[in-house]
Structure 1
Amino acid sequence: MSTAPVHPRDPFGWNCVVALAFVLLASVRLTTPGAPFFDEVHYLPAARTFLTLGSAENLEHPPLGKELIALGISLFGDGPLGWRIMSLAFGTLALLAAMRAMWLASGTRTASVLTGVFVATNFLLFVHARIAMLDIFMVSFTMLALWMCAGALRENETARWRLAIAGVALGCAMASKWNAVPVAVLPGLAFAAVRLSARRRRPVRSVRGAPVGGMSLAEAAIWLGAVPLAVYALTFAPYLWFDRLPGDPVGMISLHMEMLGLQEQVPEPHPYQSNWPQWVANWRAIWYLYENVDGAMRGVMLIGNPVTMLAGLPALAWCAWSGWKERRRDCAAVAILYAASLALWVVAPKAVQFYFHYFLPGMFLSAALALGCDRLMRRGRLIGPGLVVLGAVAAFAYWYPILTAAPLENGQAFLRWAWLTSWR
């Protein structure tokens, strides 16, 4: 008799432990500084307009992220906790969703837990879970959609409700920030490519075969095409009640032309601007805060965890190779998602770009590193992956004071973390 197949246990408990540790660490000094900092000065006034329905602000971005910040203000007051509580909640959701997506995509407990460790400590998620900016909502909804899509592929019997949730999440991701668009179109395109490649007699109506048995291409187009667009459009409904919209657009097309024009305008050069090769090399940092505030010198630095961001590059290359040569769908998905999310910034007409635009690619890079470490550990090579994990956690612990606006000794304390001139 052949031996029974191995069925690894679901690491849901460990996923929750990682998420709980993240939320506890991210809650420290969440209300510090007590005044808006960095891009909060743009998004908080824009969020308040959804509570007053006066004249809309920050029209260049879709409304959902600002609506969620406004919800936090309405629930917890117009103060630091109300400003940032929704970012913390959605940052935690993004972390949990990333781990669950990896479990369902790879079927390995180690890769799932390591994804949580690397994502939680990559600095990008942590910093944005503590500030009222739009990127955290875009990333969170994207991770939720990928969780649901991975579940639909693994458990076809649950595909209908999972893809319905995925469709809503994809619409919400695009409605938080347009950065999500290149990733949001991939699930539908992938479903269509796989089903059409089967060359069935009725490719649109057939419910047989990959990627999801029991679901037709026509139905998938509803969940992954029509639903996201409908949800995206619905998030603009509050604009119907505003007293004034900048540019006085009439209808969704006119509104989006106004938004696109604002995105393509050429502002003054910014001292922290950078481009995608610098992001990949982890070369250019942003100081979200560095000043004497709340009774002490404090700072918040945004840069990628040096261990994760650099070790992740060869891991990403291996994922691309393994996805092609070994037909590993989990590896191929991570490599494609990284490429798609980064490609936007290679061709985007936005004149001034910043390192925080690497947030979404950074999530996939962290996942690639988890898959690479898992592969080595399965082959009995424990020292290399162990050093990477310990290094990433140690770097996070070392940077923790400058990620959480801890009080610093003096105005030159930033040099402890700004190792490179380009990080200053």
Structure 2
Amino acid sequence: MRDRVAGWVVTLSITAIAFGIRFVNIAYPNKLVFDETYYPKDAWTLWKYGYEKQWPSDANSSIVAGNVDVYKDAAEFVVHPPVGKWLIGLGEQLFGMNSFGWRFMPLVFGTLLVFMTIRMARRLSRSTLIGGIAGVLLTLDGLAFVMSRIGLLDIFQAFFLVAAVACVVADRDWYRGKLADHLERLGQPDFGGRFGPIVWWRPWRLVAGLVFGLALGTKWNSVFVLASMGVLSVLWDVGARRLAGADWRAWKALLIDGVPAFVRLVVVSGIVYVASWSGWLLTAGGYDRDWGRNHPDSPWTIHLGEMWASFLKVHQDIYNFHTGSYIKEQTHPYDAHPIGWLIMARPTGVDAVNDIKPGVDGCMATGDATCIRVISAMGTPVLWWMAFFALFVGLIWWIAGRDWRFGVPIVAAMSTYLPWFPNADRPVFFFYAICIIPFTVTILAMVFGLVLGPADGPHRRRGAIIVGVAMALVALNFAYIYPVLTDQLMLYKDWLARMWLRSWI
């Protein structure tokens, strides 16, 4: 009971700190930066009409000037589902179509990402200390910090994925607890070769399906985490029954527990995903919404009706956009091959004002020197590099040490990471790795737990010094790069001093 209270105190305290440092000056700069040119505007019309509308080319300057309703009547072709935009739009409904409004919900969910990472890491490690370490590390990560302060979709996806994985882990504990309770009621040590009871009520698995549906409704590539964690979850069911004495009959869980798992995870997430499109479905003006009516002879229209035929068509168009020749022919200065993500080889420049002359905007440069303002979506280098090595330690501990706990964040992290490699023939960006870092900081925190050892172990003091120094280095590194995360005025040479790799420039 005491540890449970301490767990919540630690969780809420770190979460409050994360919110505080992310909240400071969040409305600055008062303009649409990077891909904010898409999603806040989509969100504004989504809330007004149930679907996204087109905007004129000069809409950004009009919005900053306070003239926000300059959108066109035509529907906009969108390449991502609506959940993240619904959430951005909620902030706009609360605080207006301004930089604070469209960044408020990313702030909330970026903070909740810290909260959920703490709870996931604490449950995996069975340690409030390790959960707290994971939360502090994520709080001090530059990428998580920046993505919590701009109106993009990825911070929502990251939160939903971590929340869903946390629910799957909670379901593992729930399921094993129910099997243990059954044996205790019977007064038996094990199942004696029998399959055992069927556990019909799996609330955490059902919640996981709901949250996975929200993740899919934010970005499609969430499906890879759904698939991997679904398979892992059913294999845990088999392992639980084998441990309880079901012997070879434990493999029947692949069918008996696996089919309901498919319904709770896949079917439920599909229902949630479709429901997230309700604005498009229940109105008439969305992109491709009239396709079924205009193609009455299509087999889709004949067998599914106009609405669902149109629904399939818009999804086909989105898929073709992501996989077609158009996107593969595009280039971008911040294109970053996934092979370099885990070591942060190429961060993303979110905003920049270069070559600010002395005396302009408060620039204190002299002579030929100039100043600069930038927002760089970069991780805290010391943290990312330590997490990269911790990933290999965790892999060894999972496989050689047979510690299932390391397998969870490794599988989840790789499910968000590896699928990008086949798509590297199109522009991809480092900031997509926001879905990776909550899991890799969890691995790092658990490796720190190995360094610390048992509370009464002979090397606890030495381990505490090592971990304390590592955490201090992360904090100092975050403070050092803070100006390039927050658009602060800097001398060009001071900015350059923070660009440790040539590929960062």
Name the TM-score, length of structure 2 as normaliser.
0.76
Give the equivalent residue in structure 2 for 1:414: 495
Give the equivalent residue in structure 2 for 1:33: 29
Cα distance change, pair 329–289 in 1 and its aligned pair in 2 (3 A): same
Cα deviation, residue 330, structure 1: 1.3
Give the equivalent residue in structure 1 for 2:270: 229
SS in 2 for 1:371: helix
Give the letter for the 1:100 counterpart.
R
Give the equivalent residue in structure 2 for 1:211: none
Asked if 1:131 is matched to 2:131, the reply is no
Give the letter for the 1:36 counterpart.
L
Contact 1:247 1:258 in 2 (8 A): no
The count of residues paired between Structure 1 and Structure 2 equals 409
Cα deviation, residue 247, structure 1: 9.0
Larger Rg: 2
Contact 1:64 1:235 in 2 (8 A): yes
Deviates more, 1:329-338 or 1:90-99: 329-338
Matches of 2:284 and 2:149, distance apart in 1: 29
Give the letter for the 2:405 counterpart.
D
Deviations along 1:177-216, one digit per CA (max 9) or x if unpaired, are: 123221122232123334457543853675xxxxxxxxx4
1:57-206 paired onto structure 2 within 5 Å: 57=76, 59-156=78-175, 160-195=202-237, 199-200=248-249, 203=253, 206=256
- Structure with the bigger RCO (C-alpha within 8 Å, sep 6+) is 1
Matches of 1:217 and 1:409, distance apart in 2: 56
Give the equivalent residue in structure 1 for 2:318: 259
Give the letter for the 1:351 counterpart.
R
Match of 1:278 among 340, 343, 354: 340
Matches of 1:65 and 1:359, distance apart in 2: 15
Name the TM-score, length of structure 1 as normaliser.
0.89
Matches of 1:191 and 1:409, distance apart in 2: 49
Matches of 1:224 and 1:117, distance apart in 2: 31
Give the letter for the 1:203 counterpart.
A
Contact 2:142 2:485 in 1 (8 A): yes
Match of 1:313 among 388, 393, 418: 388
Matches of 1:109 and 1:327, distance apart in 2: 22
Contact 1:60 1:262 in 2 (8 A): yes
Contact 1:29 1:405 in 2 (8 A): no
SS in 2 for 1:419: coil
Give the letter for the 2:334 counterpart.
Y
Matches of 2:361 and 2:30, distance apart in 1: 11
Give the equivalent residue in structure 2 for 1:287: 349
Deviations along 1:260-307, one digit per CA (max 9) or x if unpaired, are: 111122243111111012212221122211117995653211112111
Deviations along 1:203-234, one digit per CA (max 9) or x if unpaired, are: 3675xxxxxxxxx4343222212111110111
Give the equivalent residue in structure 2 for 1:212: none
Give the equivalent residue in structure 2 for 1:219: 260
Cα distance change, pair 225–25 in 1 and its aligned pair in 2 (3 A): same
Matches of 2:343 and 2:109, distance apart in 1: 27
Matches of 1:310 and 1:276, distance apart in 2: 15
Deviations along 1:34-77, one digit per CA (max 9) or x if unpaired, are: 11101101112221220332444351111111111111111111
Contact 1:195 1:203 in 2 (8 A): yes
SS in 2 for 1:323: helix
1:329-344 paired onto structure 2 within 5 Å: 329-344=404-419
Deviations along 1:111-149, one digit per CA (max 9) or x if unpaired, are: 101110111112121111000000000001111112222
Match of 1:365 among 440, 448, 452: 440
SS in 2 for 1:26: helix
Structure 1: 5+ residue stretches without partners: 1-5, 207-215
Give the equivalent residue in structure 2 for 1:11: 7
Contact 1:308 1:392 in 2 (8 A): yes
Give the letter for the 2:94 counterpart.
L
Of all paired residues, the percent bearing the same amino acid is: 24
SS in 1 for 2:344: coil
SS in 1 for 2:170: helix
Give the letter for the 1:253 counterpart.
L
SS in 2 for 1:203: helix
| TM-align CA RMSD | 2.5
Structure 2: 5+ residue stretches without partners: 54-73, 179-200, 243-247, 292-308, 363-371, 454-458
